[in-house]
């Protein structure tokens, strides 16, 4: 019924760092696997990227002015050399787009746009460590500094290589370099930590899969499942986690737990964890009208996808409105009688209808039309409904 999408859109509206994790991916401390502290470290990575993106948008205007001056320096020499009139004539030609094919030699950082990234994450892999480990991060920073001292960039900067490219391409490259220089003046780490601590949202999905039913004294297949619940307690209550960006406090982070709870009940969770997640919201299952809206309202809906797919064979596919109503009705009926898997049921129903049409489309004449009617839908889905 769209639990994850609700939380994701809420985070997007508030421009907050948002992380979705699955509870089943974590293990109790002491077992082989990821412990729950990794949630906060991953959230910090999201917060850092979001903060960097926000700052880059702020500084883009300033950087564009610097790019123009850098290109003019390459064309006519530095501003203090040569005549002012010559520089201004180059500026007007540049703004009119007359010099787009003129080639320039640009000093580009060696790892620019490469797999290593601009933050030196590629170096972490060489050590075989975890990129969030404090020791590995310190070692990476040291290697970057040592690499920069003797590099071709000079003055302790990163090593660079000279590339020849037209102004049309050089403009974007220089813009990225100038943005990186401007970002060095901003304390991104401090801003990212503050954003994560005060507005961070963690969405823990499939939380019902780490619970075991108390009715039958049964145990979860995962030996450390209940231990994961215990490990989550301090995280939700509020604790300090050590990350590569510094210590992060979880006191004001919003934690949302979500699950279908088919086999277990929310009351099967540890009582302490229930107390730390005080607000409980139950979402209704998708109705026939909801499924019809999902089929028709989104721009890239399931129907549109099938129409475009068949169009590649030169065949026009059309769905009658009654057929779409019947698809939604069948999906809702199957959700009620078999198992409620929400909007995913539409994929199952649509594939059954399109199975033969997809194979036959390649044999059809160009520009022929296939119409999906209500009767066709009933015929194709009759075997599902009788099982």
* Rounded-to-integer distance, Cα 380 and Cα 198, Å: 53
Kindly report, residue by residue over 366-384, the tens digit of the pLDDT.
888 999 999 999 999 988 8
Tokens 């019902």 belong to: 208
Residue 140 has a pLDDT of 65
Tokens 């903060």 belong to: 51
Cα 361 to chain centroid distance, Å, stands at 35
Residue 124 has a pLDDT of 40
Q: For the chain, how many residues are written?
A: 387
Residue 188 has a pLDDT of 92
Angle between helices 321-337 and 374-386 (to 10 degrees): 10
Residue 314, token pair as written in the block: 């030169």
User: Where are the strands (E) in the chain, listed by range?
Assistant: 18-22, 103-109, 160-166, 201-205, 240-243, 246-249, 254-257, 316-319, 369-372
Contacts 24+ apart (CB under 8 A), 53-60: 54/15, 55/183, 55/186, 55/188, 55/191, 56/179, 56/183, 59/179, 59/182, 59/183, 59/186, 60/175, 60/179
Residue 122 has a pLDDT of 41
Q: How many CB atoms lie within 10 A of CB 264?
A: 21
Per residue of the chain (387 residues), give pLDDT as tens: 577 778 888 888 888 999 999 998 998 877 777 899 999 999 999 999 999 999 999 999 888 888 888 888 887 766 655 566 777 888 888 888 788 888 888 888 776 654 444 444 444 444 445 555 556 666 666 666 565 544 444 455 567 788 888 888 888 888 988 898 899 888 999 999 999 999 999 999 989 889 887 665 555 556 677 889 999 999 999 999 999 999 999 999 999 999 888 788 888 899 999 999 999 988 888 899 999 999 999 999 999 999 999 999 999 999 999 999 999 999 999 998 888 888 889 999 999 999 999 998 888 888 889 999 999 999 999 888 775
Angle between helices 188-199 and 37-76 (to 10 degrees): 140
Kindly report, residue by residue over 46-73, the tens digit of the pLDDT.
999 999 999 999 999 888 888 888 888 8
* Rounded-to-integer distance, Cα 293 and Cα 179, Å: 43
* Rounded-to-integer distance, Cα 32 and Cα 28, Å: 8
Residue 100 has a pLDDT of 80
Residue 150, token pair as written in the block: 């003797």
């Amino acid at each position: 019924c769209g639990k994850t999408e609700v939380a994701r859109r809420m985070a997007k509206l508030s421009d907050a760092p948002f992380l979705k994790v699955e509870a089943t991916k974590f293990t109790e401390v002491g077992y082989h696997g990821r412990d729950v502290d990794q949630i906060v470290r991953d959230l910090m990575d999201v917060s850092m990227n979001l903060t960097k993106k926000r700052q880059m948008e702020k500084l883009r205007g300033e950087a564009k002015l610097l790019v123009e001056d850098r290109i003019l320096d390459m064309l006519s020499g530095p501003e203090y050399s040569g005549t002012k009139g010559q520089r201004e004539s180059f500026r007007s030609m540049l703004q009119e787009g007359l010099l787009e094919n003129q080639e320039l030699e640009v000093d580009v950082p060696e790892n620019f746009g490469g797999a290593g990234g601009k933050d030196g994450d590629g170096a972490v892999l060489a050590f075989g460590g975890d990129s969030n480990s404090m020791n590995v991060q310190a070692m990476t920073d040291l290697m970057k500094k040592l690499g920069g001292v003797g590099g071709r960039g000079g003055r302790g900067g990163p090593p660079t290589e000279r590339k020849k490219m037209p102004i049309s391409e050089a403009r974007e490259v220089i813009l990225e370099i100038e943005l990186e220089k401007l970002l060095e003046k901003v304390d991104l780490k401090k801003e990212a930590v503050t954003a994560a601590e005060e507005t961070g949202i963690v969405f823990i999905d499939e939380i019902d899969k780490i619970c075991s039913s108390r009715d039958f004294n049964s145990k979860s297949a995962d030996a450390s499942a209940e231990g994961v619940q215990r490990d989550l307690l301090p995280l939700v209550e509020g604790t300090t986690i050590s990350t590569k960006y510094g210590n992060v406090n979880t006191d004001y982070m919003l934690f949302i737990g979500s699950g279908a709870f088919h086999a277990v009940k929310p009351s099967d969770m540890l009582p302490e964890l229930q107390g730390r997640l005080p607000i409980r919201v139950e979402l209704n299952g998708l109705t026939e009208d909801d499924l019809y809206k999902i089929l028709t309202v989104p721009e890239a809906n399931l129907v549109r996808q099938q129409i475009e797919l068949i169009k590649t064979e030169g065949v026009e596919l059309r769905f009658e409105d009654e057929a779409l109503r019947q698809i939604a009705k069948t999906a809702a009926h199957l959700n009620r009688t078999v198992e409620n898997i929400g909007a995913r049921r539409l994929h199952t129903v649509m594939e059954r209808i399109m199975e033969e049409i997809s194979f036959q489309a390649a044999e059809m004449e160009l520009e022929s039309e296939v119409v999906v009617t209500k009767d066709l839908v009933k015929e194709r889905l009759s075997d599902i409904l009788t099982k």
